[in-house]
Structure 1
Amino acid sequence: MPEHFHPKGKAPSEHTLRILAEARETLPFSDTRDFDEQARGLIAEMPQKQIMADAGHVAWDKARFDFLNEDREWDSIHPSMLRQARLNQDYGLYEVLEGQIYQVRGFDLSQISFVRGETGWICFDPLISAEVARAAWEFFQEHRGEGLPLTAVIYSHSHTDHWGGVRGIVDEADVRAGKVEIIAPRDFMEFTISENVYAGNAMNRRLSFQYGQVLPVAPHGFVTQGLGQGVSAGEVGLIAPSKIVEADIEYLDVDGVRMVFQNTPDTEAPSEMNTYIPEMKALWMAENVVSSLHNIYTLRGAPVRDPLRWSKYIARALYLFGTEAEVLFASHHWPRWGNDRVQEVLRAQRDVYAHMNNQVLHYANQGVTINQIHEVYEPSEGLKQTWHTRGYHGSPQHNSRGVIQRYLGFWDCNPTTLIPHTPADSAPLYVEMMGGSGPILAKAAELHEAGEYRQATEILDKLVHAEPGNQEAKDALADAFEQLGYQQENPGLRNSFLAGAYELRSGIPAGERASTSGPDVIRAMSTEMFLNFLGIRMDSRQAEGLEFTVNIVTPDNGEKFILELANATLTNIEGFLADDPDLTLVVNRADLERVMIGEAEFEALIGDGTIQAEGDVSILGQLAQKMVDFDPLFEVLPGTSDHDAVSLAANAYEAATGATIPE
């Protein structure tokens, strides 16, 4: 066993080893079909393990995962997770359907697919960042692309790993000229922007736990993300779609290829669609069907998804297309071939979401609460013995709580928890009643020795909140988190426990900033969304007593807004102008975008005549003073922000990781 990456790190305990050994004995490791399907169709392996970013750092480093190729078990990795990690080691060009469909796999969290059109290639989901998408396209062209151009790009849904790399393979001028079509599901732009911006800073900080961005890739640290090995760190861009699929079922010719699009809103993403190619009998299931149970509630935070609707859309795809499809492929993992196998996968994926919805509500209607359901709910035995319905992205534990949250909300109906104290306010009372830090640490050590790690975290969490400077307490809590992390089959749960352990031991690390609000995303915001976000950024406590009304007119696109500050609240309404505003701004939307992305300031554009202003211009300065730049490294665990910023980045890739992937 290699040394732990952290000087305070611990080896797996005998209790952890027993849990992992039980998994080896009870899971269906004799079913190796996934490995056969994953290896099928390999044309060429990618020889370069690193893909460089245009900015000079490493955008993708597959060599970090080479330890997974060793023929051995790791006693700090759940055997089921290790199996999934090895399946995610594919790295090259694969043939899905001879001469017609290909995938370049292993270049990012998601896969990029190419379908042969009449005059060129149609791309499904161009990865997260431009550099890896470009490398995938060039590798494909080298081996099978025939020098033909890209004629269309299909965004399957609104999450970053399915559109962020588009500028690596498409020139926006070609889209505007009609040479390349970009197709997306209805409401794509609305949800792409709102999910990434409104709560983006908080989501990215939480994502650093779920995705283990603070952890080195190592047997004691980050192993896989389940959906893929990890997240690329290149330039994220966005080109707006030129065609939106509006109907529930819509038929389109895409570069001469007949395609049937099935909108599936509020499933894996709020805007998502499946695609069937009848002449090829090929079914693209986007991210609605992958080789894992997906998230109903995602740990980084997002609106809770609808598992019943998700199940029904899969069922609809099964009966619309799946009864004749001969190959099923998707934006993650590997294809499935043969109609029997396609139907088998679709039925099990349909059932895993329906079972969770129905059985969780079955328990909820008998009084099981959001704080109990994860101890009660279990998938059916058949689903537990099916590899592709196990929890490599979502988990039964946090998904079952998500179902309760969707239908009943956060409250467990116990009046004690209705208006709870914050942990920092309640913890001192608990610590006092438990006799202080000494007895707590002694009892925690006893629980740790007995393998009762979750019990240990109950009391240590109270102590750490009461005494954020108590490093002995933080180290003890980190030790318990670490063992719980080793025991997890689900990468997000493992990463969250291990990331918590790391931050408790060493403080909040530098080098793991994530950004969902690059220039392309900001420019793509509607004016209303931009004004909404100003209301989020404004610190209302600093705006007490301040009132004003501003008219905003954007003549190049015909928009008009009232922006009003009253009751320490900034609101806006589209389509109206106030009769007696304090300030009127006339600004072309194109110039407003310069302000939105930070390229220019209102005052400067007013000064040079680009923006016409009438009224009290000082309002803009007053408003600017009330705006907050959100800290992307805010404290999650108590006492972790008082350390010097450190980084365990083993190479330039980890130091530069800045892409985010809201799954």
Structure 2
Amino acid sequence: MLGGLAVAGVATTLIAACNDDSNGGASGGGGGPVKTDNSVKGATEATKAANQKLLDTLPFNDKSDFEDAKRGLIARPDTLTIKDANGNVVWDLEEYKKYIADDKPAPDTVNPSLWRMTQLNMQYGLFEVVKDRIYQVRGYDLSNITFIKGDTGWIVIDPVVSAETAKAALDLANEKLGPRPVVAVVHSHSHIDHYGGVRGVVNQADVDSGKVKIIAPVNFVEDVISENVIAGNAMSRRAVYMFGALLPRNAQGGVGAGLGQTNSTGTAGMIIPTDIIDHTGQKMTIDGVEMEFQYTPGTEAPTEMNTFFPQFKAMWMAENTTNTMHNLLTLRGAQVRDGLVWAKFIDETIRRYGPNTEVKFQSHHWPRWGNANIIDYWKRQRDLYKYTHDQSVRMMNNGLVGSEIAEEITLPPELNNFWPDRGYYGTLKHNSRAVYQRYMGWYDANPSDLDDLPPEPAAKKYVEYMGGEGAVLDKAKKDFDAGNYRWTATVLKQVVFANPDNTDAKNLLADSYEQLGYQAESGPWRSIYLQGAYELRNGVPDTGGLDSASPDTVRAMPPDMLFDYLAVRLNGQKATGKNLTMNVNFKDINKEYGLTVENAVLNYAPAPVPNANATVTLDKATLDDIQLGNLKLEDAIAQNKVTIDGNRGSFDEFMGLLDTFPFWFNIVTP
């Protein structure tokens, strides 16, 4: 039972998830960018025309965002490459600086609006947000790290993904502003780019002694662990697509993730919070700095909070408003977010904190200054999510399904032409489908879709009905030449799934994905298309992958979550007809659980099963070491760190029922 956990990567947490997402927000993984692919093509005339049309449509002459993104710059290093203790590069902005600059127009292979956002995200360094009190280091990771100057020390907000990048940012602040100890860390929400670097700015001993506070919203730890445990393997594989981790850094590859450039790949950790925020209006004063929290659960993350600084008339918006449309459904996979709830919390921000706010800042992108400017921005961000929700539901109630809503919905000009509402991360198309999914689920009510064939057998019949592979390819080439890439992507998928050995079909499908990527305004959409093209041409990678179950995350995971994860690893076909019982006794935390396998299902309870087939006794700390790969199960048994009483054969049989998930499963081929 225990040995397989390290192999499967239990408690997989996206080096992200922005992120989101993100948890993610944001993540990458996969072992670093691939080498340049010689089969990559340039932009077609159709792609050039599509990008030019957007260039002619949007207000590119408005340079106010560039002024805000550069405002308050104190210092930046000439080069920005950050390494870990072993000399491995964990963050390298130089990869992007080779081809991205303010004075360079968008290449033909990059959507000009995404290029503009990338130029803005490349404004890196130490910035002053509120004179002598609030500072940010930007461009050192996917997210920003914020430093609030207290009477004696720093209050740090959202210390990025990795300890190495967080430490580099703190070193820059101390060098330019004078050294100060960190007295508190505030985590706005449960995505790794907002807490992962905490050990780069504080140490556990100072937290344990009470010298440093760790402040987070209620259920922070639970959400950190749970959001990516059960479906973590699939999410992680899909995150490789979403964040473009394997794409080369050039104008035909990865140019940015929308929220920032990409994720760092250093050491991610977590420290259990010392202080919990559970309601709006809750106040704290730390080192002379007054903070009032707005608790906003169910918005961009399951648990999230904004922070108002009344002394500075400054509102920290976490990731609830950024300078892009965010995701109602992150493309790596997650539960659908509620656009209506999100809009209501932004409206609460306007009403409760708007009258006294002169600057708003957040965990991605750059601040805004001036009360009227901020209120206008908040209203348009609020109405972006409410419009998406309301109009999607309106069309749903008129009988449209998700794909039809995505094709029909458009933003009014006052939202569409507002730069912070553009779809650099989320998009109107997939967010509207997320609204449909939230209310209606996967089924679109058409009986043909109730029990439709899966992709591979359906593809074979489609190709047969369309006259065979050759006929489809001939027609697809004509549509490709006409710039109908969405259609060629749809029809060529059928040929590839009917016959994955058809190289011509895979190459033309890759060409189609590539042009769609070049036209995409969303960083994740671009990455998904280009990663798909890469795998069609070169095959699925077989090395690397995410190794993001940090020791802190694993040690924080309670046994209940472990057993929930074991339950989804149980192979139902293998377990058919089995009847096994087992007790697991954790000595150090004085808890015992009873596990039962019957009806091809694993159930557990916080009480032993009478007359169980076997009893496993160990410390939770030993289990953690096994999960982390620090200790093999066989060695733990030999060292008496794990004892198995009763029928050892039942234990071995149970282990044999558990699947080990492959990371590099196929996506663009069957």
TM-score when normalising by structure 1? 0.93
2:61 is the counterpart of 1:30: yes
Q: Structure 1 residues 12, 610: closer, same or farther in 2, change over 3 A?
A: closer
SS in structure 1 of the partner of residue 662 of structure 2: coil
Residue 18 (structure 1) aligns with:
49
1:564 pairs with one of 596, 610, 628: 596
1-structure distance, mates of 2:429, 2:547: 28
Work out which of the residue numbers 153, 157, 171 in structure 2 matches 1:120. 153
Give the counterpart of 1:111 among 144, 148, 152: 144
The one-letter code sitting in structure 2 at the alignment partner of 1:61 is: D
Contact 1:197 1:516 in 2 (8 A): no
Determine the C-alpha separation between the residues in 1 that align with 2:416 and 2:253.
26
CA pair 512-364 structure 1, distance change in 2 beyond 3 A: farther
* Residue identity in the other structure for 2:118: A
Asked whether 1:96 is paired with 2:90, we answer: no
Q: 1:289 aligns with which of 316, 321, 335?
A: 321
Alpha-carbon separation, structure 1, partners of 2:645 and 2:81: 55
Deviation at 1:259, TM superposition (A): 0.8
Partner of 2:355: 323
Distance 1:341 1:610 in 2: 62
Which segment is superposed worse, 378-387 or 49-58?
Answer: 49-58
Query: What's the secondary structure of 1:252's corresponding residue?
Result: strand
SS where residue 280 of structure 1 aligns? Answer: coil
Q: Which secondary structure does the structure 1 equivalent of 2:206 belong to?
A: helix
- Matched letter for residue 226 of structure 1: G
Q: What residue number does 2:578 align with?
A: 546
**Is 1:139 matched with 2:172?**
yes
Which of 378, 389, 398 is 1:357 aligned to?
Answer: 389
Tell me if 1:506 matches 2:544. Answer: no
Displacement, 1:613? 4.5
**Does the CA contact (< 8 Å) of 2:90 and 2:264 recur in 1?**
yes
User: 1:236-255 counterparts in 2 under 5 A?
Assistant: 236-255=268-287
Of 526, 543, 558, 1:494 maps to 526
Instruction: Determine if the alignment matches structure 1 residue 152 to structure 2 residue 176.
Output: no
Q: Aligned equivalents of 2:638 and 2:80: distance in 1?
A: 51
Alignment partner for residue 300 of structure 2, among 265, 268, 281? 268
Q: Residue type matched to 1:122 in 2? A: I
Post-superposition shift, 1:582?
A: 2.3
CA distance in 1, matches of 2:190, 2:579: 37
Residue 642 of structure 1 corresponds to none
* Shift, 1:434, TM fit: 1.4
Q: Any idea what the Cα deviations from partners look like across 1:198-230, whole Å, max 9, x if unmatched?
A: 211111111111111221111111111110011
1:235-285: CA deviation from partner (whole Å, max 9, x where unpaired): 111111122212243112223322111111111011111111111111000
Distance 1:509 1:585 in 2: 38
Give the CA deviation at 1:386. 0.3
Greater mean alpha carbon deviation, residues 352-361 or residues 336-345: 336-345
1:216 paired with 2:248, answer yes
Matched-pair contact (CA < 8 Å) for 1:553–1:586: yes
CA distance in 1, matches of 2:285, 2:650: 52
Which residue identity lines up with residue 526 of structure 2 in the other structure?
R
- Paired with 1:319 and 1:489, the residues of 2 have a C-alpha distance of 32
2:491 to 443, 459, 462: 459
1:410 is aligned, of 438, 442, 460, to 442
Distance in 2 (CA, whole Å) between partners of 1:586 and 1:155 is 36
CA distance in 2, matches of 1:49, 1:98: 25
Alpha-carbon distance between aligned partners in 2 of 1:248 and 1:40, rounded to the nearest angstrom: 31
Q: Secondary structure at the match of 2:291?
A: strand
Equivalent residue pairs, number: 634
User: CA RMSD, aligned part only?
Assistant: 1.7
Q: Distance in 2 between matches of 1:517 and 1:630?
A: 15
| Aligned CA distance change for structure 1 residues 28 and 184 (closer, same or farther; 3 Å) | same
Residue matched to 1:63 = 94
1:196 partner SS: coil
Matches within 5 A, 1:338-349: 338-349=370-381
1:259 to 291, 295, 303: 291
Aligned residues of 1:163 and 1:238 also touching (Cα < 8 A): yes
1:39 counterpart (53, 70, 74): 70
Per the alignment, residue 646 of structure 1 pairs with none
Cα displacement string for residues 280-337 of structure 1 (whole angstroms, at most 9, x for unaligned residues): 1110000001000000011000000000000011111111112211110100000111
Which residue number in structure 2 is paired with residue 617 of structure 1? 648
Q: Distance in 1 between matches of 2:644 and 2:514?
A: 58
Give the 3 Å change call, closer, same or farther, for CA 187–452 of structure 1 in structure 2.
same
Q: How far off is 1:535 after superposition?
A: 1.3
Calculate the TM-score normalised by the size of structure 2: 0.92
Q: Tell me which residue corresponds to 1:374.
A: 406
Q: Which runs of 5+ in 1 are unaligned?
A: 640-663
**Mapped partners of 1:140, 1:573: distance in 2:** 50
**Residue 591 of structure 1 pairs with residue 627 of structure 2:** no
Indicate the residue corresponding to 2:4 in structure 1: none
Q: Do 2:405 and 2:432's aligned partners in 1 also have CA atoms closer than 8 Å?
A: yes
Match of 2:85 among 54, 60, 63: 54
Deviations 1:433-490 (A, max 9, x none): 1111111110000101111111112221110000001111100111111111111111
Whole-angstrom CA distance in 2 between matches of 1:612 and 1:638 = 45
Which of 628, 633, 658 in structure 2 is aligned with 1:627? 658
Unaligned runs of 5+ in 2: 1-34
Residue 388 of structure 1 is matched in structure 2 by: 420
Q: More deviation in 614-623 or 417-426?
A: 614-623
Shift of 1:5: 4.1
CA distance in 2, matches of 1:584, 1:462: 51
Q: Is the 8 A contact 1:129 1:237 kept in 2?
A: yes
Answering whether residue 233 of structure 2 is matched by residue 201 of structure 1, we say: yes
Distance 2:649 2:271 in 1: 36
10-19 or 297-306, larger mean C-alpha shift: 10-19
Asked if structure 2 preserves the Cα contact closer than 8 Å seen for 1:213 and 1:512, the reply is no
- Do residues 279 (structure 1) and 311 (structure 2) align? yes
* Displacement of 1:97: 0.9
Deviation string 1:105-145 (CA, Å, 9 cap, x unpaired) is 1011000000012321010011111111111111111001x
Name the amino acid aligned to 1:140: A
